[in-house]
Structures are given as C-alpha cells and as structure tokens.
Amino acid sequence: MTFQEKYERWLASPAVDEATKAELRAADDIEERFYKDLEFGTGGLRGILGAGTNRMNSYTVRQATQGLASYICDMGPEATARGVVISYDSRHRSAEFAMESARVLAANGVKAYVFDALRPTPELSFSVRELGAFAGIMITASHNPAKYNGYKVYGEDGAQLTAGADTVIRYVNNCDIFDDVKVISEEEGKAKGLIQMVGAELDEAFYAAVLAQSILPDLDRDSLKIVYTPFHGTGYKPVTEVLSRAGFHHVTVVPEQALPDPDFSTVKSPNPEEKEGFARAIEIAKEQDADIIIGTDPDADRIGVVAKNADGEYQVFTGNQTGVLLTEYILSQKKAAGKLHPGDYVVSTIVSTKMGQQVAKRYGADFYEVFTGFKFIAAVIAEMEQKQAGNYLFGFEESYGYLPGTYARDKDAVAAALLVCELAAFYKQQGMGFAEALDSLYQTYGYYTEKLVSVVMEGKDGMEKMAAIMASIAANPPKQLGGVRVVALRDYNKELRYDFAAGTTAPLALGKSNVLYFELENDWFFVIRPSGTEPKIKLYFGVVGDSSADGMAKIAALETEVRNLLV
C-alpha cells in the first residue's frame, strides 16, 4: 500500500476520530507520516507523536497492544489471568497511551494492572516480577526530546523482551491497525475486573528492594550535601523517598525541574548525559557548597553525576566513569567483607569502558560482555540463575544505566542514586571527592578514556544512508585508525571475527546484530552501529592514554578519520 493509499484510508476509516483526521488534512508531511509503519522491534515502539502509521498515536499503540494481547491469549488462560502491568512517564499522552493499552488488553480478556500515576521504568520492571505478571508495558521515550514517546514491552522476568520477542513482533505485524483491534471502555474494563489500578503497595515493595542494595548501610550519610534534578520526570518521588529513608537528609531538589512537565521546558533535552541540563543544578550546588549533583532522566532508568573536585569546580562524570567507580566500590567492599565468591560476576556492554573488566579481574570476579541494551545484561542474569553459577554483583552500560541487584531486570536510576550518594559519603569520610577517587582508579588501571558520537540522520533518506554506510565499512574495513593498527574486525551482522594479522576468520558467540567492532592495538576500540531507537548512527571510541588529556587527544585523532568514513 502506498503512502497516499494509507493516508486516504485513515481519512475514510470510521475508527479514526475527527481530531486525528483534521490533523492529517492540515499536515504538509504526509509522505513522512505514512511512508512506513512505525516499526515494532525488540524494544517496542518509539517515534514522534502525531497522526499516521509512522507516528506514535492511539492507533499505533492499540495495534501494538492487540498484537501483544493476541500472543498472550494464545499462551492460554493462565497467561491472560496473570496479566500485564502498565506504567508511564511524564510525556505528552503517556497516561492516555497507558489506558488505551489497558482497554485493548481488557477487550481481549487479559488482566491489566495500571499504575494510578506516573512511575519509573525500574519500578515497572520490579512490579512485573512482584505481581507474577506475564508481561509489562512502559510508556516512555526515555531521554528523547519532548516530541517523542514510546512503548516498551517487558517479559515475565521483568526484562525487555528477548526470548519470544520475534514471536510478539510477528503478532503485531500481522495485526491490522483498524480491523483487528479490539477495545472496550475503561469503565467496562474496571467493572469486569480486567483493569485494576495499582500504586502505593508496589511503591513500598520497590523502595524496600532498592534500600536492600546498600553496600554499607551503617555508613554516616548525614554530612553529605546533595542537589538532585528529576528533569521533570518520574524520579522525584522515588529518589527523594529512598534517599531520605537511607539517611541522606541534605537533599535539595532543583525546584524548576521537580514537577512533571512534558515539554521539559527548562532544558534543551532531558538527558543526564548532557551537561547543559545541569546548569541550574550547578548554580544551586555552588550556592550551597554541595558535594554532589545527581540527575535522572524522565523515566528514571538513567542517572548523570556531577561532583565537586579538589579545585572546587563541579566536574561532569561520564557513564563509564560512574560505572567503574561503582564497580570498584561494590567489589572492594564485598571483598573486604568476605562476601565475594568464585563465580560472582559483573556484566557490561561491548561499547562500554574496558576498565570495568580490569576492575573485575583485580578482585577475582568474572566479567561478561553483551550487546548494547540492558535486556542483554538481564539475559545473563537469567542464564546464570538457571545454572546456579555465581552471584550477580553489578551491571552497567556507558549510556548511564546501572543495576546493582536482581530485584529488577532493567537499569535503575533510583538504586543508582542511592549507591552514588553512598559512595560520595564513603569518599568524603576519607577526605576525597569523586574526582580524586577516579584519578586513583586511573593510576591503578590506566587512563581509559571513551567517547560516544551520535550522528543524526532523520527521515527516509537518513535510514537509507545509515544502511549504506554500514555496508560500505563492512565491505572495506580500515586497517589503521588514528595512527594505530586495526587488529581485527568483529562483524556481528555476519557473526564473524576477522583477524587481520593472522588472516583468519572465526565465529562470534554473542549473536547477530548490526554492529561493527574494530579491535585496535593497545586495548583501543572503535564501534559503529545504527541506534535501535533513534534516527542516528552511533560511534563509540575507547583508548588508553598517559593522562586524561592524552586520551582525549588520541580519541580526537580517531574521530577525525572515522568521520571521513561516513561521507
């Protein structure tokens, strides 16, 4: 069906409300809205809000939910009775999309547990496990700009779908957006007991699970001064509640960014990876001489850290730097307490810092690498639990995601906030700050330096360009980058590793993914992959230098050469 035919079908369909039709008649980007269907992938949906098949709206949400409901129904009555937990963040139409999902599930006889107000992604993950539900839905576009929203599907283990994902995708793709969708009213769903509102009872259970992740619960925390911004999202209540219960009594919340705001009006982007969003928090920290600043993204699964250094300046920490600081803290304290056992392990992603592996090695912990995405970390946890082969200690990814326990199976900025503040208090008692602690790690392990570059390629032409770039680089891989020899190429799309020095080829074990990983000399790396959730191609660089400045200079040389490959 052409984009024009899809457009005309929407205008003619009695299933489409008049407001949506009016939006379409006034639109001047019809081809962009209809040239494809918004793809339901392993991460669910994510797209720009608006009318059309290539947009996030009630109809695309209903279609996705109908596919999920049909899959659950085919799993039998036990699955439908266990039901689906639904949560949502502060974005435009998030609450509406959550209830639309519940109405479709209920129409199919599937129980829906809907949170009575916005809640963070990690609490959704936890609640799927806590309620013994068959699946979960989180309405969020994470840290994307305000024009986006999204729809994530979780399995019964509380992780984003991996096992069974392809089957659910087929159900969704085989569902007609109008003709196959069943929906009933919210009132009817509640009257039948198929839509149940949940809230406070799950909050309490979640808080208890998070507080149990404390490494040094008897540590004095009262002197630490904290500034916190929830970036207008879901983190405000859970983060402040957990910190208060843990004994952190000097927490100042950035007032302009405390309450939910779907426009994220005080920041260019609600992304804790970007320093600009912390501008107001840094002003407040300077006024109060605060020790540390933390910021959580709209669905509170990522956290950014800014801390005062020895010069009194507020230094921004990357996701990798926070990840290795937490890894060192958890492993060193467990080792000191005699709680580190053979087979205990840390998990990270192939694009995250290699220093994490060195930390694990020093303390005798196992270390596993996985593809980008916390669902792959969750898959390792599930596999190891099944084998009863060691305890999960910590998981992190460079994109500011951390999980210290197995109570949830997605990254958790609430628990990370607790541990970051606990770590800051731990160092403060030793007369150190985060910056001094990080420098100590560099002196121990080497100056590992990393950088992520995202190149935006929106629209139909952008997708085609990304595909062409990946194909071209795979066919003609560079043998030298930044003046350093490329040792090998891991082409995860072909699941093969090409050793250029030996001239050999060997299979890769992680699985298939559209990722090209270049191994360079001196423990350097470069990775290129299209984002699975955003219209951009991502470039990851990692080097080991003689200092932080030397590391950044080496990365700059790498980046210059790599950008030439994108032309």
% of the chain with per-residue pLDDT over 90: 89
pLDDT for position 498:
97
Phi, psi of 88 (to 5 degrees): -160, 160
**Average per-residue pLDDT for the chain:** 95
Amino acid at 394: F
Sign of CA dihedral 212, 214, 215, 218: negative
509-513 average pLDDT score: 92
pLDDT for position 114:
98
Domain residue ranges of the chain, discontinuous segments joined by +: 3-198, 208-445, 447-565
Split at pLDDT 50, 70, 90, the class of 533 is: low
pLDDT for position 163:
64
Domain 3-198 matches domain 447-565 at the CATH topology level: no
How much of the chain is helix, strand and coil, in % rounded to 5? Answer: 40, 20, 35
The catalytic position among 127, 142, 348, 399 is: 142
pLDDT digits over 189-201, tens only? 999 999 999 999 9
pLDDT for position 531:
79
Residue 305: pLDDT above 90? Answer: yes
Residue 142 annotated in active site: yes
d(CA 554, CA 561): 11
pLDDT digits over 205-247, tens only? 999 999 999 999 999 999 999 999 999 999 999 999 999 999 9
pLDDT digits over 142-182, tens only? 988 999 999 999 999 999 987 677 889 999 999 999 999 99
Mode of pairing for the β-strands spanning 195-198 and 226-229:
unpaired
d(CA 294, CA 432): 18
pLDDT digits over 483-492, tens only? 899 999 999 9
Sheet order of strands, 314-317 included: 251-253, 226-229, 292-296, 303-308, 314-317
Amino acid at 406: T
Q: Are residues 87 and 58 in contact, defined by beta-carbon separation less than 8 angstroms?
A: no
pLDDT digits over 395-413, tens only? 999 999 999 999 999 999 9
Split at pLDDT 50, 70, 90, the class of 99 is: very high
pLDDT for position 38:
92
Give me the residue label for tokens 């890894």: 327
pLDDT digits over 554-566, tens only? 999 999 999 988 8
pLDDT for position 162:
75
Fold type of domain 208-445: Alpha-D-Glucose-1,6-Bisphosphate; Chain A, domain 3 (3.40.120)
pLDDT for position 482:
86
Fold type of domain 3-198: Alpha-D-Glucose-1,6-Bisphosphate; Chain A, domain 3 (3.40.120)
Residue 275: pLDDT above 80? Answer: yes
Q: Assign domain 447-565 to a CATH class.
A: alpha beta
Q: Are residues 127 and 206 in contact, defined by beta-carbon separation less than 8 angstroms?
A: yes
Residue 43: pLDDT above 80? Answer: no
pLDDT digits over 411-432, tens only? 999 999 999 999 999 999 999 9
266-294 average pLDDT score: 94
pTM: 0.94
Mode of pairing for the β-strands spanning 496-499 and 484-491:
antiparallel
64: nearest Cα among 175, 166, 179, 185:
175
d(CA 543, CA 61): 42
Residue 455: pLDDT above 70? Answer: yes
Residue 348: pLDDT above 70? Answer: yes
pLDDT for position 51:
98
| Alpha-helical segments (H) within 446-547 | 459-475
pLDDT for position 534:
67
68-83 average pLDDT score: 97
% of the chain with per-residue pLDDT over 70: 99
DSSP state of 155: -
Phi, psi of 327 (to 5 degrees): -60, -45
Which long-range contacts (C-beta less than 8 Å, at least 24 apart) are formed by 488-497?
488/518, 488/519, 489/516, 489/517, 489/518, 489/519, 490/515, 490/516, 490/517, 490/518, 490/519, 491/516, 492/371, 492/516, 492/517
